Structure 1
Amino acid sequence: MDVIFGPLYPKHIKPLADFAKANQIRLVIPFTSKDNEVYSNPYIYQINTPQSYLYSEVYKHFAREFKGANIVIWNAEEKQSDYELTRGIRRLPNRPFTMRILEEGDIAAGAIQGAFSSTQTNIVIPTSNSNAALAKLISQLLATFGKIRDYDIRLFGYPDWPTYVKDRIDDYFEWDTYFYTSFYTNNLMPEAMNFTQSYRKWYSKDLTNTPPKYGMLGYDTGFYFLKGLFTYGSEFENNLSNVKFTPIQIGFKFSRADNGGGFINKQLFFVHFTKEHEIIKMNFD
């Protein structure tokens, strides 16, 4: 046996990880990102990136992508607020961009425009990942700057934002929107369309429309490992970046955990809805 995929439930990870380690079998954990077995078991591959690793990648690529911009952090003051993202961006050493903070009081007092630059690209990040906060933000930006504006304003947000596409796609294009994610499928991509059609034919139902789509996750994960093992055999671990295939939803960029642990997938995407009505999946290799 060369590889085990699973388990589904977190309570089964420890006994299965012990079995894999005792028998020197690769264990691919596709679901949870919160289990710690990967840090001490060299045979584990963790597909879903732990938050600490994910944010580290977001900060690195954010600083590179938006060098020279004016970052506007929009404090939504909601229960769903995700301050970890904006806190990390605020704490970046040697920030290659300027930064303004808009508090709720500033927003209520109509002092929005003063936080924006007329000469730099303005990247607006709300502190909440909710659809309601996003709707309120867009409404207030529109009231302040209008549809025809002299300011270059773009939005940057969260992995939850793809689930709002049905309501927000026109807004995403209009406001030149970015969000970060580990999972994304452009449903107009030929590979995605073919997979969706085949899935419907095989199982007589549609894929669930919540990220990640588990059918696609299974396909990408299985294809990557089975092709890699078929191609490289016992040298698979030395060729993790050389496995060639076109993933539908998730990518693979494995990094060995410290102190003899397993492998953690650090693949991250920025998805960009451009004003030209293109959807660009930005892959950072």
Structure 2
Amino acid sequence: MTLSDTCRRTLLTLSATLLIYIGSSAQSGRRIREHEVQREETVYSIARRYGIAIDKLYELNPWARQQIKVGDKLLIPSTPATSSASPTSTTPTKGKKHRVSNGETLYGISRTYGIDLADLLRANPGLTSSSVQVGMELIIPSAKDDSTTSVAPTRSEENDSSQPSQVAQAQTRILMLLPLKKDKHFVEFYEGFLLGMYQLKKAGISMQLTTLDVPNDEALDAYIEAGSLRGKDLVIGGVTEGQIRAIAAASGYNYYIIPFSKTNNLESSDGRVILTNAHTSTIVDRVIPAFLQKYKGREVIFASRPGDTEDRFVTQLRSELSHAGLPFRSIQVGSGLVGGLTADAVIVPISPDRNLALATMAAIGNRAGGITLFGHPQWQAYGSQFQQQLRRYNTTIYSTFFFDPTLPESKAFLSQFTGWFSHKVSNSYPKYSVLGYDLARYFIRAYSMYGRSFVSSMSSIPSDGLQLDFYLQRSEGQNVYTNTRFFFVHYPNTGVITREAH
């Protein structure tokens, strides 16, 4: 299924719960597909085409009661194997070909033939959402018979067994609480999350996602009072300190996953709280010893300009070097008079400021030799030309987030995302769409395999995020877990960028 522009509009106007079912239901076997409204089509004709009641169509598309227009996307419930769809429905045949018409997207074509977008791309090597052109002839692979997907009986909430299963043992119930009207980043997070759910669905994992728009703290309080969090396996969201504390203190759910913000001294109720984005102090405490080990025996040089403000990492690193009796010194850059750089020096600009980084690189000039530049997470957001300059100085940065768009799996994600949602991933740090994708794939898969005990089974859970990985550490005496994973990202003079997890 997809979240099209129209579906996003639906989500923003709903005051009630929007339920999105992915995978098969043990009771109804219902799945979701998408239909793009064509000329002269009506809600009645579309419902008739797919053999469904109009009420069922309105159930997933309440906005359609007012008006539909050409290009709108409707979510269509369908029943595999037993569907009573009308004879006008398209039946895919092996080796069928399709000529791309004006306005068609790869995802729309894949839905027309009832196949996965990934299968369409595999059948047409080199095809991407950006390369498809009007008039291009595509090979349409045979649709897979997915009517045999099954789900085991519902797991008892008291069952905390750590026995793994490669397929979901029950439907994982997820609640998302986001201010989707306020910021496109939250919409992109949601879109990436849906794409991650789709990947899990193909692996046989069943889930139910309930999304509630939270425009302010009062709306969240009303949801909590109404019991909306009760019975949920995973609760995700909260973007202000007040919202995070309110959700953490609520009861009736199993896990609360905080995707964005950072809040100290959380008090959890009977659920367990997971902070996916650790506090800077937590990460710095882990980065410092890794830095000292990595650059043992090398001189550290701190680069600055008059007026630059030293950030926390540099202040703490300077203190640790002094405490350990290791060599370090400071230089002023920007005047063109920098000298005395040793061949194996590690140069660290004292702040993430882009202009300071550029001034430092200009000061090093062509004397790079064995010099290494060590930098900050924010450097990822300064564009591709800046990234290329980092290669000249054998640069390493530390970061909890890193997304390499040149990797095959990253290219596949970007292509599929654009095909589904008809817009590109925003150039932000971190990339919210990829964050949603990673969180969905890790936590839903983990919960489906191990239930409430997944935090004690981390070594057996794949941590293959495109932008971040997970290592959860529990706060002493609390049901609060923090993701303490970080990377050393290395930009070599030649070859591919590498990401070393710590």
After TM superposition, the score normalised by the length of structure 1 is: 0.87
Of 263, 271, 278, which residue of structure 1 is paired with 2:481?
263
Conservation of the 8 A alpha-carbon contact between 1:76 and 1:126: no
The change in CA–CA distance for 1:51 and 1:239 in structure 2 (over 3 A counts) is same
Equivalence for 2:312: 84
Render the CA deviation track for 1:235-275: whole Å, top value 9, x for unaligned.
Answer: 21211232114210011011111232400111101111001
Q: Which runs of 5+ in 1 are unaligned?
A: none
The amino acid across from 2:359 in the alignment is K
Give the Å deviation of 1:117.
2.4
Q: Once superposed, which parts of structure 1, at least 4 consecutive aligned residues long, lie more than 6 Å away?
A: none
Matched position secondary structure for 1:249: coil
Mapped to 2, the partners of 1:66 and 1:96 lie a distance apart of 14
| Alignment RMSD (CA, Å) | 2.1
Conservation of the 8 A alpha-carbon contact between 1:63 and 1:95: no
Superposed, 1:54-203 pairs within 5 Å as: 54-79=283-308, 81-92=309-320, 95=324, 97-103=326-332, 108=335, 110=337, 112-114=338-340, 116-118=341-343, 121-142=344-365, 146=366, 151-203=369-421
Q: Percent identity?
A: 22
Mapped to 2, the partners of 1:282 and 1:78 lie a distance apart of 33
Render the CA deviation track for 1:109-141: whole Å, top value 9, x for unaligned.
Answer: 83x323x324xx211001121111111111121
Conservation of the 8 A alpha-carbon contact between 2:235 and 2:257: yes
Render the CA deviation track for 1:91-126: whole Å, top value 9, x for unaligned.
Answer: 11654842122246xx7483x323x324xx211001
Conservation of the 8 A alpha-carbon contact between 1:271 and 1:282: yes
Mapped to 2, the partners of 1:184 and 1:138 lie a distance apart of 22
Give the Å deviation of 1:38.
3.6
Between 195-204 and 4-13, the greater mean CA deviation after superposition:
4-13
Matched position secondary structure for 2:468: coil
Mapped to 1, the partners of 2:494 and 2:436 lie a distance apart of 33
The change in CA–CA distance for 1:117 and 1:15 in structure 2 (over 3 A counts) is same
Conservation of the 8 A alpha-carbon contact between 2:248 and 2:267: no
Conservation of the 8 A alpha-carbon contact between 2:235 and 2:253: no
Between 89-98 and 227-236, the greater mean CA deviation after superposition:
89-98
Conservation of the 8 A alpha-carbon contact between 1:63 and 1:96: no
Render the CA deviation track for 1:46-68: whole Å, top value 9, x for unaligned.
Answer: 01110110111110211111111
Give the Å deviation of 1:27.
0.1
Question: Per residue, is there more helix in 1 or in 2?
Answer: 1
Between 186-195 and 81-90, the greater mean CA deviation after superposition:
81-90
Conservation of the 8 A alpha-carbon contact between 1:54 and 1:268: yes
Matched position secondary structure for 1:140: helix
Give the Å deviation of 1:218.
0.7
Give the Å deviation of 1:14.
1.9
The change in CA–CA distance for 1:165 and 1:78 in structure 2 (over 3 A counts) is farther
Paired residue total: 269
Tell me, yes or no, if structure 1 residue 14 matches structure 2 residue 245: yes
Of 472, 479, 491, which residue of structure 2 is paired with 1:254?
472
Render the CA deviation track for 1:64-100: whole Å, top value 9, x for unaligned.
Answer: 1111111101123345x34312111111165484212
Conservation of the 8 A alpha-carbon contact between 1:30 and 1:46: yes
Matched position secondary structure for 1:91: helix
Tell me, yes or no, if structure 1 residue 48 matches structure 2 residue 273: no
The change in CA–CA distance for 1:133 and 1:235 in structure 2 (over 3 A counts) is same
The change in CA–CA distance for 1:252 and 1:173 in structure 2 (over 3 A counts) is same
Equivalence for 2:16: none
Give the Å deviation of 1:8.
3.3
Equivalence for 2:264: 36
The amino acid across from 2:241 in the alignment is P
Mapped to 2, the partners of 1:140 and 1:277 lie a distance apart of 25
Matched position secondary structure for 2:462: coil
Equivalence for 1:220: 438
Conservation of the 8 A alpha-carbon contact between 1:39 and 1:257: no
